[in-house]
Structure 1
């Protein structure tokens, strides 16, 4: 269905702000604008796009910043952002369409479509159903195996993901515990491909983008220049926002596509949430039975202290690609997306027919949290004008200060380059059964750590007292690991986070390296 798009573009001289807005009769526009401005300025974001739907209409649409800091191209409602894990709801949508078409069932065993699929426990392999791939109940630990997906680029394939699962040790029994997982969404994409008779990216276009008119969204391989208007991820430095992991001319069909690889514009994300909030816009797209299935609480999730205090929440659960909870007595369906230098948030209040989209192309975790809260409260507690971005920013600071016993990042300022002599007997090639080989070898007057399959995981080994860590060469890899050796034979090598708050997708805990030979 073609979309009618009305745009008012205003460019400030420095091209830092671009505004696209509709009249907001049902909301207090000044409060929304204030929240937008505060988040954009407080967190020094390179770019921000926000849209709100109410009662079937786009009542707010605004953008600010640039696709690449200093590049001069303003962000608008057509700019493509990485939506990261908001891709999961789209993968679930493809599967739901295939269920409607009679091509698979939610309770089909995964091995019906992927005979090569294996978990470590044969019983779990036999009993893993399609639905289990979507609800984070596999028994694997948080982010298990994510180093096969990120950092990108790497040379792990979807076949490698399926083969690697057999080597990942569970931390809990099957279906007993929620732990966020990405690998099984990759498997879900391959199940969809097998059942649908076409590659995952073809199915997403056929089942979602084309029938819903999401004509800017991109999946699979595409050409950046031909598509145009693509936001780049940024990290924040003392000198300002800096582009990291910039796209090349051809954007590849990455392995993680079904878990977090889709890109969409603000307008297309508003179309996407509009279809969920108002099924009558496209009644033939998905049956009522499958809509209910997707938004059913399939896996209980913990209700955090923050959710209780900020939102008076009483329940939290995972559906198929969506998180479900209550906020101030209002039903909430939502998800976030996080990749290096890219943050997204989708918040739906279905009973109020309200939807919110937030897209950020910079270091935006706190901005996403505070802005999402402030915007949500305009609908769940509209009479309370104190619940602003500033209020929630102060609350985040108070949370941090109120927990003096929380593990903190170690002081590594005394670090100095390791020498081959100091690591004598420990240098060599090491292998992990799912991650593959790394080399810990002399390099010049120091020692290097180099992954064979993940090029960005290469760095210089440093000494801190009697401990060792890796200082990654590429500063977009922001989770340094400690190295710990165990006596053999063979000698073992384990990695752990220097910063306990590092992204869980740096899945060092599941690595179990054994020395296989000397350095070449």
Structure 2
């Protein structure tokens, strides 16, 4: 159950395949501003045809695209519809969730705090937020402010993100890291995690005397850039007169899904921004202006450069900086990030040495389409080898999805009937509180007492169950987002006499242990 990054590790790996390997002659690499503008203008008709064909292939209901060049939004257009089955068309001003492209906004607010003397990049996180602890005390003590957004913590990718969908608040997510296993090498391995950003947002709000990181980004970025349509709540996007509706995709259909007040907004700096093409274009203009926007300095060039600097390798041509991915291509670097919530996909990126930025916003879960169409443009503007990026991304997405369906398929041989009452009882976690397991209608059901979320357990093997969220009450929107996807797998552990003593949530992204109380 990974809400953000749309399986980001797979997505960034796919970008390598989408990036041409052959360099063109040197004269193709040194375009001036006027020649670059001519190249962009000449590419638009082919790009629009390619984008619309790709939307059909990926079954994307609607998209909005913008291109920035030479400190101007020179192209902005909407395609398709805001909601499947309804006539309202997407236009450049239509608001979308932008998912993990929010992480670069977080890194910029960190840079602003350093500019203001409120923080240092090397400050210890545990000194600023004592609630932040890791299972390895040395790593927990040594992790610094810069590490929070550099994706090199050593934690399991996406660890404990699923707690959001079960009703737990931001501070519980932060506290959950104290028991989360470190499965990678600290500061050496790329490992995509969201909750460290939540911790950073809490630190910034406390340091700046604000209620939340939403206030920090509004006062530090949105207002000075004039991003008047940008927000960070479900209420704000729902009330906006011009907004897209998110969609989830499965084998059967593409389906509109509701907004929810906690998802993705509790994750805040990790993925909680709503925006549109005109607003994101202003953000890109600031990046391309190296911290300057019109007559204002938004971020110092020195600290903005810190956010662009690679910190950990993803593979031979991709690195993660702070809230940005950096791609090395034969004819120039690309600084970018994608975003994926349960119903939206996004790409925001730029060519820092060519003065060009691109934003692609879509209203369906991110399966690789936004990155593919953006990469198609980058390669042609840079003079890299031209490939069919959408076709490659679609093939990769279908391969991943086939593997996921195989893993999630019901067991070939149904587990033997067993006495479900043996599992019934109360279990306890120091972090998540009491859990009641009961037998109802011949099936096991699990209720989290602190949040009132209920899950139904379907047997996969002896003592092993798939747990799916019930579509009831406040959890109906989250259940609609997830469809038939399991929250986690649960294994009950027995003692030597066969009595059930413990319940383990065994999905790597949601490792939790509950001891039986009675």
TM-score (norm 2): 0.80
Do the aligned partners of residues 174 and 430 (structure 1) sit closer, same or farther apart at CA in structure 2, a change above 3 Å counting? same
Tell me which of the two structures has the higher relative contact order, counting C-alpha pairs closer than 8 angstroms and 6 or more residues apart: 2
1:5-154 equivalence runs, <5 A: 26-149=41-164, 151=165, 154=166
Equivalence map 1:171-320=2 (5 Å): 171-199=183-211, 200-220=213-233, 222-224=235-237, 226-236=239-249, 240-244=253-257, 246-247=258-259, 254-279=265-290, 280-282=292-294, 283-298=296-311, 300-303=312-315, 314-320=316-322
- Structure 2: how far apart are the matches of 1:186 and 1:222? 20
Report the secondary structure of 1:365's partner residue: coil
Cα distance in 1, alignment partners of residues 134 and 191 from structure 2: 16
Match of 1:468 among 451, 465, 484: 465
Equivalence for 2:428: 431
RMSD: 3.3
Equivalent-residue separation in structure 2 for 1:330 and 1:23 (angstroms): 19
- Superposed displacement of residue 99, structure 1: 0.9
Assess, with a 3 A threshold, how the Cα gap between structure 1 residues 118 and 354 changes in structure 2: closer, same or farther.
same
Q: How many residues align?
A: 466
Match of 2:491 in 1: 484
Residues 367 and 397 of structure 2 are in contact (CA less than 8 Å); yes or no, is this contact kept in structure 1? no
Q: How far has the Cα of 1:100 moved from its partner?
A: 0.7
Aligned to 1:515: 516
Q: Residues 156 and 482 from structure 1, CA distance in 2 versus in 1: closer, same or farther, beyond 3 angstroms?
A: closer
Structure richer in helix, relative to its length: 2
Unaligned runs of 5+ in 1: 1-21, 304-313, 498-503
Q: CA deviation at 1:407?
A: 10
Aligned partners of 1:395 and 1:357: how far apart in 2? 23
Q: Residue 144 of structure 1 contacts residue 168 of structure 1 at CA under 8 Å; is this kept in 2?
A: yes
Q: Which moved more, 1:92-101 or 1:406-415?
A: 406-415
Q: Indicate if the aligned counterparts of 1:418 and 1:462 stay in contact, CA closer than 8 A.
A: no
2:392 is matched with 392
Can you list the C-alpha shifts for 1:8-30, whole angstroms capped at 9, x where unaligned? xxxxxxxxxxxxxx998544112
Q: Which moved more, 1:113-122 or 1:209-218?
A: 113-122
Q: Deviations over 1:391-415 (max 9, x none)?
A: 42565379779xx999942541768
- Please give the secondary structure, in 1, of the residue aligned with 2:481: coil
Say whether residues 1:356 and 2:354 are aligned partners.
no
d(CA) in 2 for partners of 1:181 and 1:221?
23
Cα distance, 1:226–1:395 mapped onto 2, change above 3 Å: closer
Which has the larger displacement, 449-458 or 343-352? 449-458
2:29 is matched with none
Tell me the CA shift for residue 212 of structure 1: 0.6
Alignment-derived partner of residue 500 in structure 1: none
User: Deviation string for 1:64-111 (max 9, x for gaps)?
Assistant: 233322343322222221111111111111111111111111111223
Runs of 5+ consecutive residues of structure 2 not aligned to the other structure: 1-36, 471-478
Deviation at 1:63, TM superposition (A): 1.2
Change (3 A) 1:264 1:472: same
Describe the superposition over 1:363-420 as per-residue Cα deviations: whole angstroms up to 9, x where unpaired: 34132343233222222336x5x5235542565379779xx9999425417687997x
